Chains A and B, each alone.
Chain A
Amino acid sequence: MRILLDKFSKSFGTTSVIEDMNLEVGSGEMLALLGPSGCGKSTTLFAICGIHRPTAGRILFGDRDVTNLPSQERNVGVVFQSYALYPHMTVEENIGFPLTVRRVAASDIKKQVAGIAALVHIDNLLDRKPSQLSGGQQQRVALARALIRRPDVLLLDEPLANLDAKLRLEMRSEIRRLQKETGITAILVTHDQVEAMSMCDRIAIMKSGEIVQVATPSQMYQDPRTAFVAGFLGNPPISFLKGKAAHGAFVSTDGKLQMTLPALSGIADGTALTLGIRPEHFGTAGNVPVEGKVTFAETQGRENLYDVVLPDGSVIRSIQPVRDDVTLGDQVRWGIDSKSAFVFAEDGTRL
């Protein structure tokens, strides 16, 4: 079912958290809501599931306006960041609770709980209390509870935040598999860009209550609209260089680096600019040479990571296939791939 936020605003008392947000999530799509802490991700989620009433604007499920519908009538499944399992109930009662309050027959509940528990691989834990489960198991219980009444919409608020790396990887694909299998429209809130990129069809990046860009992961990565988006996606992160425009080229503050960029053709000389270079676009293959000193070197097994300090003090990160000829303190002369560099105006918009 399609979800549409239309000029959605939310404020708590006098503090306005979200203003005029427009967002559409297609039917059966999984969208990641990505952004720094406190930008309003959970608030958006709570408005969609009906816990918070929007201050202004509309929320539509399909063509139905649910803005003023209480949570109970929205049929939304939510997995809370802290799981919010009911501590006094067994796993079976927890998962069955949404059906119990709907007065489904007990034998029916038992059958459905067994089915959904098998789907998330916790069918051997049904008699335990939540406190007797590991974090990953609790998370699956929360997921099963959200899924059992076949919700139209599934909302996940940082569901993987408390898991260890291996389990997180496992659950990532498991959630994605379940979402695809059931065809539910889902929104995943996360801090973790890798999670967002690997699990979701599209990503919406938020910054202080606004959606900056909505795009598919690869689009977002290759074509960021602002410096904030470019800085948010990518690991290791993008590096930024300060400079000015001069004759259709980017010139670093000390004038040593000059790079002609088609994006700068109409820009007045002297305009302050920021150049963004992803680590994989700075290395031996680049076409614009830069000289600097290696101040940080780290191997990640398959690749090596270097920080190169330019004479003017700015730092560019580089990621390259493993090599052992460069060590800390070496003077290097590597190149920037000018076709892949992003240039941003002073206010952060991409040119």
Chain B
Amino acid sequence: MSEKSKASANFSSIPVIALLGLLSLPLVVMYAYLILDTVTNSEPGSLVPNEFTLEHWKFLWETRSGKSSIWLVTLNTFIFTCCITGVILLVSSMAGYVLSRLNVPARGFFLAGVMVLHAFPSVTLIISIFIVLQYIGLYNSLIGVILVKAAIDMPLGIWLMKGFYDTVPWEIEMAGIVDGASRFTVWRRLVLPQIKPAIMALGLFSFLTGWSEFILPQVLAPGSQVQVLSVYLASLIADDNNFDFATFKAVGVFYVIPVLILYVFFQKHLMNIYGGGTKG
């Protein structure tokens, strides 16, 4: 945030800020109540909390009967998300390079095909994927759903990476080759660093979509041992017998915390995504 632009001298920003503040006030209030509600109780029908309590956060140290432990679920979610991010980054960064630089037969066809794949809403495929996973024995396993989710998100990543590789000047690679480096070394040591902002962006993006993915794990990995947070959260309200809205909210907050942390740490990179690339 060091290069925040100075307020213009002949243009007052106060009215704009006031207007924007007013418009986003309802959102702020809602978020405030979301967090407030998780640590307080209030009289039915009243908006003002009357006591502080941690009972809604009880799920952190007490596993309810019929539910899996929150920590197992969180671990599952982390494994799920990190694996997806890893697979997408690894495959996209390599496939993008190959499509951008090497002589691939039927490159145009391949690129178009990848795009078509991306255009499919994953829901339309879910029945057939279910059958395939069932058949090869990966139904109700983290590996299965990781592979499916990564495969569905990959086309976008490949296209994004290809676009970034296209902007890296050829000469850098030629120089690397005549300097004696192998093609792989050239890719890893010379080309990859040039598109680091894109890798960061894609990684962050994949992490966020993986973290919030619901429908695929819900259908393909519903078992309590492989549950992820989004599925756990949904199971809370699906359960009509002991409906607990405050716990639902607390789990929701718990679910968002990693995303918020990620934003705090990577905000700089998010800002820099368009400032990177090769200069001069």
List residues of A whose CB falls within 8 A of some B CB: 46, 49-51, 71-72, 74-78, 80, 82, 84-88, 97-98, 101-102, 130-131, 145, 149
Contacts and interface: CB of A to CB of B under 8 A. Distances in A.
A72 B177 contact: yes
Interface in B101-130: none
Interface of B: 169, 171-172, 174-182, 185, 189-190, 193-194, 196, 278-280
Nearest to A130: B280
Name the residue in B172, B179, B181, B193 with the highest tally of chain A Cβ atoms < 10 Å from its Cβ.
B179
B194 A145 contact: no
Contact of B182 (A72, A75, A88): A72
B180 A98 contact: yes
A145 B179 contact: yes
Interface of B is mostly: helix
A78 B178 contact: yes
Contacts of B278: 87
A138 to B, nearest CB: 9
Nearest to A132: B280
A184 to B, nearest CB: 14
- In the A-B complex, the 6 residue pairs with the smallest Cβ-Cβ separation, listed nearest first, are A84-B171, A84-B175, A98-B179, A88-B193, A101-B181, A71-B177
A84 B193 CA distance: 15
A98 B177 CA distance: 9
Name the residue in B174, B180, B194 with the highest tally of chain A Cβ atoms < 10 Å from its Cβ.
B180
Given A72-B182, A80-B171, A130-B280, 18 more contacts: A46-B174, A49-B178, A50-B177, A71-B178, A72-B177, A72-B178, A76-B178, A80-B174, A82-B169, A84-B174, A84-B175, A86-B172, A87-B172, A87-B278, A97-B181, A98-B179, A98-B180, A131-B279
A195 B34 CA distance: 74
16 contacts: A49-B178, A51-B174, A71-B177, A71-B178, A72-B177, A72-B181, A78-B178, A84-B171, A84-B174, A86-B190, A87-B194, A87-B278, A87-B279, A97-B179, A101-B181, A101-B189
A72 B194 contact: no
Contacts of B194: 87-88
Contacts of B172: 84, 86-87
Contact of A78 (B175, B185, B196, B280): B175
Nearest to B179: A98
Contacts of B182: 72, 101
A88 B190 CA distance: 8
A51 B101 CA distance: 14
Contacts of B176: 86, 97
A51 B178 contact: yes
Contact of A102 (B177, B180, B190, B193): B180
Contacts of B280: 87, 130-131
Nearest to B185: A101
Contacts of A49: 178
Contacts of A74: 178
Contacts of A71: 177-178, 180
Contacts of A101: 179-182, 185, 189
Contacts of A82: 169, 171
Nearest to A149: B180
A71 B180 CA distance: 7
A42 to B, nearest CB: 11
A80 B169 CA distance: 12
Contacts of B174: 46, 51, 78, 80, 84
